[in-house]
Amino acid sequence: MYCSACVEVFTHIIRERTIMFQEKTDKHNVGHKKPAPVRVDFNRLISTEMSDDVYESVEKAFGLDGFGGVIITNAPDFRKTREKVLKNMYALSKEPREVLEAITKTDASGLHETGWSERKMNSPFGKSSNKFVSFYSRYPNETVVFPEDPEFEKGNENVWPVTIPEFREDLMNLNRLLSSPLLGLLKYFDRYLSGKIDADKQGKFVNSFLNHYSCHHRLIGYSPLDEFGKDTEDQYLWDNWHTDFGLMGTVVHPIYLTRQGEKQDLNTTGYVLKDRHGREHPGVFSEDEFMITAGDAMFIESAGYIPATPHTVRISKGMPRDLYRIQSVCFFDPNMSYRMNIPTGESFQEIIQRDPSGYDHRVMDDFKEGCYYKEFIDGLLEFLYK
């Protein structure tokens, strides 16, 4: 335990750094119009035809002056498909301990998890997160793709709860809806980067990832915040500010339930993101929609022209603190055997200067050009679980 004087000093340091960051952000934001949320129709995005107005929306969502993500509308039967999965996750969280232990799986390194997880996570910008449980799986391949290590592939094969027979099928149906627009975005990212990267790297997103990708799905059950007391600095947070690891990530509208399992219809996602200039925005989208944001791997693979999107999860003003929050996020990753590269020949420290938000990328400081995606992820996971 820290003494009260130490806590006071640490609190002062954090407050001063927050003020300095905000002053830097405010100065940088002078002359930059605050971006608005961007919506794109599901069918238009997954079309093989390139559309100029969809491209303009993608640039407004992901570019250096963008909102930080795009909201996908009109996905077929999305609300029903999503709700089945989230209710299954809540039901799973109430299963007996022996059922959950049977589907808890960690590979030999201790870094990669499949199935049920109750591990806390570190954050570079806050306390360790321990207010949730998770269920991990992969799609369309039900394991990682890393031929260099067959044992690693075998150790990451999906496991499914036998007590909820529809669990796997319902989640696969949701994955099909989420993955289609993720794949549809690739050609627009190539167009956006066409005048910015080396000639031999043109078309890299379609060429590298259209047929060689993995969707790493994480279902999350957040505990009621009133279980954690009111006197802590993070009493309103379910999760700390962070960026996701992969190329892209999806987030759906959560469901909220009482301790008795009764669904509560709340018109809030609890999701907050920062735009490219560091300004906060609530993630406002309906139960029929979902959002796609960019991750750490995208920052590298785009040479910093598509920064990762910082985000957090916290309750809105006046929202009850005694509810469970059930969430689905899906990370779009390269295969583990993919060799990562900055397509301009620049160093990592050089592309950091391109991020207008001035976001601290300390978790990626050890990035090495040409590393396997597995090596990149392992480095981030070591920080997450250290």
Task: Specify the higher pLDDT residue, 86 or 237.
Answer: 86
Residues β-bridged to residue 105: 114
Q: In what order do the strands lie in the sheet with 280-282?
A: 237-242, 311-314, 271-274, 280-282
Res. 128 pLDDT band, cuts 50 70 90: low
- Whether pTM > 0.85 for this model: the answer is yes
pLDDT at res. 187: 98
- Span 232-254, average pLDDT: 90
pLDDT at res. 143: 97
One-letter amino acid at 152 equals F
pLDDT at res. 221: 97
| Of 188, 183, 182, 184, residue with least CA distance to 305 | 188
On whether the CB atoms of residues 123 and 240 are closer than 8 A, the answer is: yes
Euclidean distance between CA atoms 217 and 171, whole angstroms:
9
- Span 24-43, average pLDDT: 74
Domain spans in the chain, listed from the N-terminal domain onward? 1-31, 36-385
Q: For the purposes of burial, counting CB atoms within 10 Å of the CB of 195, is it exposed (0-12), middle (13-18) or buried (19 or more)?
A: exposed
Give the H/E segment covering residue 313. strand 311-314
Q: What tokens does 358 get?
A: 């001035």
Residue position matching structure tokens 């269920």: 135
What are the pLDDT digits (tens) for 249-281? 999 999 999 999 999 999 999 999 999 999 999
On whether the CB atoms of residues 69 and 182 are closer than 8 A, the answer is: no
Contacts of 32 (CB under 8 A, 6+ apart): 65, 277
What are the pLDDT digits (tens) for 266-324? 999 999 999 999 999 999 999 999 999 999 999 999 999 999 999 999 988 788 999 99
- Span 40-61, average pLDDT: 98
pLDDT at res. 191: 98
CB atoms within 10 A of CB 304: 24
Q: Report whether pLDDT(375) > 50.
A: yes
| The CATH homologous superfamily of the domain defined by 36-385 | B-lactam Antibiotic, Isopenicillin N Synthase; Chain (2.60.120.330)
Looking at every residue in the chain, the average pLDDT score rounds to 90
- For every residue of 251-264, DSSP letters joined together read EE--EEE-TT--EE
pLDDT at res. 117: 97
Q: Is 221 helix (H, G, I), strand (E, B) or coil?
A: strand
On whether the CB atoms of residues 145 and 136 are closer than 8 A, the answer is: no
Q: For the purposes of burial, counting CB atoms within 10 Å of the CB of 270, is it exposed (0-12), middle (13-18) or buried (19 or more)?
A: buried
Euclidean distance between CA atoms 219 and 273, whole angstroms:
19
Euclidean distance between CA atoms 161 and 143, whole angstroms:
16
Euclidean distance between CA atoms 245 and 299, whole angstroms:
10
Residue position matching structure tokens 């090495």: 368
On whether the CB atoms of residues 369 and 375 are closer than 8 A, the answer is: no
On whether the CB atoms of residues 161 and 103 are closer than 8 A, the answer is: yes
Q: CA torsion angle for 311, 290, 88, 317 (degrees, to 10)?
A: 50
pLDDT at res. 229: 74
Euclidean distance between CA atoms 295 and 292, whole angstroms:
10
Q: For the purposes of burial, counting CB atoms within 10 Å of the CB of 119, is it exposed (0-12), middle (13-18) or buried (19 or more)?
A: middle
pLDDT at res. 13: 35
- What percentage of the chain exceeds 90 in pLDDT? 78
What are the pLDDT digits (tens) for 57-70? 999 999 999 999 99
Euclidean distance between CA atoms 195 and 278, whole angstroms:
26
| Of 329, 340, 338, residue with least CA distance to 297 | 340
Q: Report whether pLDDT(1) > 50.
A: no
Euclidean distance between CA atoms 3 and 303, whole angstroms:
44
Q: Report whether pLDDT(377) > 90.
A: yes
